[in-house]
Structure 1
Amino acid sequence: MTRPHVGGVGVSPTRHGALLSAIIALVVGLSTAIYVSVASDHGPGLDPRAATRAAAPGPGSAAPISTGVWVGTWAASPVSGEPGTATDGMAGRTVRNVVHTSVGGTSARITLSNLYGTGPLTVTHATLAVAADGGSAAAVPDTLRRLTFGGATTVVVPAGGQTVSDAVTVIVPHDSDVLVSTYSPTSAGPVTYHPHARQTNYVAEGESTEDVTGAAFTGAGEYWRYLTALDVLSNEADGTIVALGDSITDGVTSTAGANRRWPDVLADRLRASVAADGDAPRYGVVNEGISGNQVLADDSRRGAAGLNRFERDVLGRTNVKVVVIDLGINDILRNPGLVDPQAVLDGLRTLVDRAHAHGIRVVGTTLMPFRGHRGWSDGREDVRQRINQAIRADGVFDTVVDLDRALRDPYDPRSLRPEYDSGDHLHPSDRGYRKMAQTVDLTKLEGSAPARL
């Protein structure tokens, strides 16, 4: 029997052994947590896919503890119903979308949209995985995760609706491709899609969501279907930048599969600056560009106007801190007459007011020149100049990126500089998209929206 000691408590050998075991277990647990944290922080010289394979939990393993905040790492706006899918939709086929991350994280979730469907979209199988190679349909096997929705593997998305998946624990590297696969046994009518993805995406006959080889995916095309967002729980970022724009933001003339749209380059710049201990904020970047999009007018093939999609594509994204708006050129080009520049400016101011009401900072751009394009005229050039003059002068936005000045030809300011011109005299080349991103002052992306009076 153990008796109490003066000034202390006696401990039996049995209790002493149990206490020692508990201390050892605690030390081991803390060491494991530190190891997982270090493994998640991929250094500049480490292949992110190798880090993913090394750190991802194997079958039956305990998942690593995730820390950080939820941010957007990729997004695309739903534009319309895909032509030719009104009857059969994607019934009996597996869609594998390939998307590129701007920041990494330790957990992920997706958003699926049935905005343009005419019936309920039933998804019975869905998976997420890191791609084995850039642009490939093959996955890194131990990164494949089954997705659930409210704990169930099947989800029904009503016509006109969307759904967000449950989070899955998986290390998603920044600047990498992620595969999101969905299978629908029945048709929901027109497939909600985003054309001009500038990325090869895949389709397989039958249910193949867990095919890691990619062999089943014999169909390929340049559409993103159903998928509109990928969020990550990230310790690399504190918030999200949304790039809201038209075909120039969509990157329609950038090199396919190379991720050279200007928002891609902006994401690269932000990561590089943070890695170099620069002054840049830590943000994920998502691209909400729609080809042909306008500030004021909807289009059945080119999506809702900026005024009508702002809540969905900006306010509806995750943890948004900044929106960069590059809209207005299609209001000039697609109006059969001459659009009222004041109406365009009023529309832009409305977007700014909506952003400020949610504490979001607004960066605006001047409209770039397009002389030589088939839609150019002296009258339309005058409208562009008047809009740009107001943007520069009267504080439409919190800060301005003067893309007109940066990309125009010094010998003919009504035209793009030749090396920045893709050849159609409206859309930039890869070099032009890079110049656009380089024109953004990264330090101006930080800060709160002005207080409302």
Structure 2
Amino acid sequence: MFRIKASSRSLTVAIGALLLALLGAVQPVAAGSRPRPSAGDPPGRWVGTWAAALAAAVDNGCADCTIRDVVHTTIGGVAVRVRLSNRYGTAALPVRHTTVALPVVSDSPQVAPGTLREVTFHGVAAVTIPPGGTVVSDPVALTVPPARDLLVTTFTPGYATPMSYHPLAVQHSFFARGADAADATGAAAFPETTTAWHFVSGVDVAGSGARGAVVALGDSITDGYRSANDLDHRWPDILAGRILVSPPGHRFGVLNAGISGNRVLLDGGSAGEAALKRLDQDVFAQPGVRTVIVLEGINDIQQTPHQLDPAKITAGLAEIVQRSHAHGLRVLGGTLTPFEGCSCYTTPEEETRQAVNTWIRTAGVFDAVVDFDAVVRDPADAHRMLPAYDSGDHLHPGDTGYAAMGSAIDLSLL
């Protein structure tokens, strides 16, 4: 384990104090509320660059646990802050030490020289997050590039509560048991890996020049299930890459609020709360959010208990639009993709999917429609996914299919 020298730590604190003066102190955020700028933080300064929708809590037996979450930015900035969550914890969560850093190479816990930064909350390193709560860090002086991995490391002493987590990261992160390794710079300090994200629910940047953020609200197809690990091939990642080559005034952060197994209408354990219940946390609370892309409903249809009444699903989607409009957001509706050939497929379910898609395309409820169904279906059989896009389970696209989906979104609609 390597520790920052006292002189370096003092410099970090001094830089952080300067950023606090320039950007304004950041307050803890109550569950379901949107982070509000302080007097010194003009609206729009902070924009989300990465997010994960926490779905449940897990007891993985890790005591005195240091977790180095690997997240991937969409837009860059000259300062960064992180959001830590105890959303599904059953007791207070003490976080004694948090750091951010850039990795020396992608998908590695090893820190690039000179990039490790201490993270504080109201000027101190330790913070206690109440059950259901979220805290936002003070600004951290670190130039964060776009489309780059970022290491967010937390040390939680003892074992106080199950860890709120996002189960399907499609990304390896790292952890160590029994000691505080938050300021370790070498890979050897993190001997174990995980494919979930723990505690970290968002990363925001300042000085990005972005117009705001786009939130992708969805299920496993948005979450990137069956895409390649560690390669950021989810369709929101493809969209983010396309946005980055736009002129600076047309760029957005892209925030993935997909949860595998998620539904519009029903809660699902590790599949998270119903989309209708998680809007406040996963959409409206995102800094700088301007647009929502909704791709939800296939699990209401194909999972037990099956919802075969399309009117109930479309009513839920209409409520998402109405509540989003009330927050001043633009809403794009994604049509549900085909799944004939899946073991879960039945003719009544297909009829419900088609009815929901007809409503999405024609009801005029959404501000615009992204016809994902038309993008990925087989021209020879509209009930099936094109074989080249199929991951093999006939329900989820593979990398090529996700690339087609992310490439099909008209950027002018954002």
TM > 0.5? yes
Equivalent position of 1:364 in the other structure: 333
Aligned counterpart, 2:174: 202
Kindly name which structure, 1 or 2, has the bigger radius of gyration based on alpha carbons: 1
Which of 79, 82, 85 pairs up with 2:55? 79
> Residues 314-373 of structure 1, C-alpha deviation per residue, up to 9 Å, x if partnerless?
001111000100000000011434421111111111111111111100011110100001
Deviation at 1:58, TM superposition (A): 11
Are 2:200 and 1:227 aligned? Answer: yes
RMSD value over aligned CA atoms?
A: 1.8
Structure 1: runs of 5+ lacking an equivalent: 1-56, 446-453
- The SS at the match of 1:307 is helix
1:13-32 alignment runs, 5 A limit = none
Aligned with 2:144 (options 166, 172, 188): 172
Query: How many residues are paired up?
Result: 381
Tell me the CA shift for residue 119 of structure 1. Answer: 1.4
Tell me what 1:70 maps to. Answer: 46
Aligned to 1:95: 67
> With CA pairs under 8 Å and 6+ residues apart, which has the higher RCO, 1 or 2?
2
Superposed displacement of residue 411, structure 1: 0.6
Find the counterpart in structure 1 of residue 288 from structure 2: 319
**Range that drifts further, 326-335 or 305-314:** 326-335
What is the identity, as a one-letter code, of the residue corresponding to 1:229? G
Q: Which residue number in structure 2 is paired with residue 258 of structure 1?
A: 231
Partner of 2:132: 160
User: Is 2:342 the partner of 1:373?
Assistant: yes
Q: Distance in 1 between matches of 2:115 and 2:347?
A: 55
Q: Does the C-alpha gap of structure 1 residues 144 and 244 become closer, same or farther in structure 2, counting only changes over 3 Å?
A: same
Q: Which amino acid aligns with 1:261?
A: R
Distance in 1 of aligned mates of 2:88 and 2:222: 23
Matches within 5 A, 1:37-436: 60=11, 69-82=45-58, 84-85=59-60, 88=61, 90-205=62-177, 206-274=179-247, 281-436=250-405
The answer on whether the counterparts of 1:148 and 1:154 sit within 8 Å (CA) in structure 2 is yes
Unaligned runs of 5+ in 2: 1-7, 24-43
Query: Offset of 1:59 from its aligned partner?
Result: 7.8
Q: In structure 1, what is the Cα distance between the partners aligned to 2:367 and 2:304?
A: 28
Q: Which amino acid aligns with 1:310?
A: L
Question: Which residue number in structure 2 is paired with residue 41 of structure 1?
Answer: none
User: Are the aligned partners of 2:81 and 2:136 in contact in 1 as well (CA < 8 Å)?
Assistant: yes
- Percent identity, please: 44
* 8 Å contact kept, 2:48–2:287: yes
Offset from partner CA, 1:266-299 (integer Å, 9 cap, x none): 0000011337xxxx82100010000000000011
TM-score, normalised by the number of residues in structure 1:
0.81
Secondary structure in structure 1 of the residue aligned to 2:70: strand
